[in-house]
Amino acid sequence: MRLKLLSLVLLTALTSTAASAASFACTKARPGVEQVVCLTPSLSHQDEEMAALYTKALRNADNSVAIRQSQRDWLRLVRNQCTTVDCLGAAYDRRIAALATGRALELDASISALKAVDPAATSGVQYLPASQDSKPYEDWLEQNQLFESAIALARRAAPGMPLPKVVGWECDTNRGAFYVSQQDLVVVCYQFVAEIASYHVGRLQDPSTNATVEGRRMFTAIEFAVLHEIGHSLLHRRKALGSLGSEETEADSFASVVLLSNEPDINDVVESAVSIWGLTSTFGMKEQNGWEDYSDEHALPQQRFANYACLALGRNPAFGQWIMKTSVLKPQRAQRCANEWERAAAGLHTLVFAGR
């Protein structure tokens, strides 16, 4: 996706003498979609029109908080998923029409299939029908109840707090897993599960790999991804508590503390760390990073794994023997991991119980 967007930036730069106005400062535009908007006059005009309608909607809204969240969701789940100018133009057209007609809180057409989710269903999990290509992953998830397992872990960590519904869906773009605040849904794409499965199946080509252990690693990787998105839901509910950090990092910490709190045995801690390494290395791991990687709201995959490893070490000091063999953490960082674990565990307690 980033390579396609970079090509768009270069192409539009050749045909534009100056950055268009847009509704944001183009001198501070982040690499990728924002640069394309700034360098494409038609998109820049659409962005300004949308911004004016959004400001008007906020001014007239009974619930401005919901409007702001719907706009953030649109940016994250719709606009920023585009890899072509045509996609961006169509996304802006739909958002402009929604804002102009008082439908700011409606789901965009690109994720409208999520309207099929039954809000009255008593189960916290739903699997939306998949095509023949994704059907095996839909069935596999349902048979192994991985979503249910993640929900049970979250419920144990956050007793009494409402949890979002977790939905399996055959996504139209490679969104991985994401949280939709309008419906309080965690969505896990079947294609995302297929990529995780492909990574772990590939490891079975090594004759020394234990299939049972590798299967458990795959389960843990999916549970972590679901818990991360459940973390977004809880953070959204308790946003009045405030924060000094990135919500993505907080969601990672939530998932890490929940998983590690349920891994008392050192072997389980090691296996969970291997699982998270597999998850992070499957998506976005590169030998050399550009500014678009550093400016992303997610930490780099290597950093995400190192953060998990540090919390694992803080949770169980015996994990240090494995850490020493891998050189994942510098000694100075390793010395502070017990404190990092204490702070993360205390943060989870505050998230769940503060203000009750």
As a whole number of angstroms, the distance between CA 71 and CA 104 comes to 8
Query: pLDDT above 70 covers what percent of the chain?
Result: 85
- Contact status, residue 328 vs residue 308, Cβ threshold 8 Å: no
Angle, CA 257 vertex, CA 254 and CA 261 arms, to 5°: 145
User: Which regions in the chain score pLDDT beneath 70?
Assistant: 1-22, 113, 118-123, 173-175, 264, 281-296, 355-356
Nearest residue to 282 (alpha-carbon basis) of 294, 291, 270, 274: 274
- Write the CA distances from 173 to 79, 189, 190, integer angstroms: 12, 9, 11
Please give the pLDDT value at position 227.
95
For residue 151, give the H/E element and its range. helix 146-157
Domain boundaries, the chain: 2-111, 121-353
User: For residue 355, what are its two tokens?
Assistant: 């203000």
DSSP string, 19-76: ----SS-GGGPPTTHHHHHHH-HHHHHHHHHHHHHHHHHHHH-S-HHHHHHHHHHHHH
Q: Is 141 left (phi over 0), alpha (psi -120 to 50) or beta?
A: alpha
Angle, CA 182 vertex, CA 28 and CA 128 arms, to 5°: 110
Its pTM stands at 0.77
Please give the pLDDT value at position 186.
93
